[in-house]
């Protein structure tokens, strides 16, 4: 009986561990052939796991405001390239170059970000 319970527990743990691993690898969602550069205003800066996120607003060619999310690597990797919890704050003007989502969502994978002080923050991604 204990062997059967152990086998069931092992399968459950394996499945639970496998889900985040499968879901985590989403690099194929980004259009690597067509990077874009956007200038905008930070609305939120999340320096937390699993990926740092910068929420920002961009005025499009029609004058309408679009909300974007720029996602980069994990905090510990970004910290080594100069990012900190205080690198950005709401209201900061930024320029982000990155890979947009293939499906058209307003999200991109950061390749380069120019902070308000002119500091270039590395991508820290993948």
Write down the pLDDT at residue 126: 45
- Give the chain's domains with CATH numbers: 27-122 (2.40.50.140)
Question: What mean pLDDT do residues 108-121 have?
Answer: 90
- pLDDT number for residue 121: 80
CA 122 – CA 120 distance, rounded (Å): 6
- Which pLDDT does position 12 carry in this prediction? 64
What are the pLDDT digits (tens) for 94-109?
999 999 999 999 999 9
3-state SS, residue 102: coil
CB 91 within 8 A of CB 103: no
CA dihedral 104, 28, 33, 82 (to 10 degrees): 90
pTM (two decimals): 0.75
């Amino acid at each position: 009986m204990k062997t059967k319970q152990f086998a069931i527990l092992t399968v459950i743990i394996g499945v639970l561990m496998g889900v985040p691993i499968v879901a985590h690898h989403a690099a194929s969602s980004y259009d690597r052939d067509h990077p874009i550069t956007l200038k905008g205003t930070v609305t939120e800066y999340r320096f937390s796991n699993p990926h740092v996120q910068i929420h920002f607003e961009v005025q499009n060619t029609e004058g309408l405001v679009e909300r974007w999310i720029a996602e980069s690597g994990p905090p510990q990797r970004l910290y080594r390239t100069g990012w900190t919890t205080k690198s950005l704050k709401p209201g900061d003007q930024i320029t982000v170059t990155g890979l947009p989502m293939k499906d058209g969502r307003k999200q991109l994978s950061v390749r380069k970000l120019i902070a308000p002080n002119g500091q270039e923050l590395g991508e820290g991604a993948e």
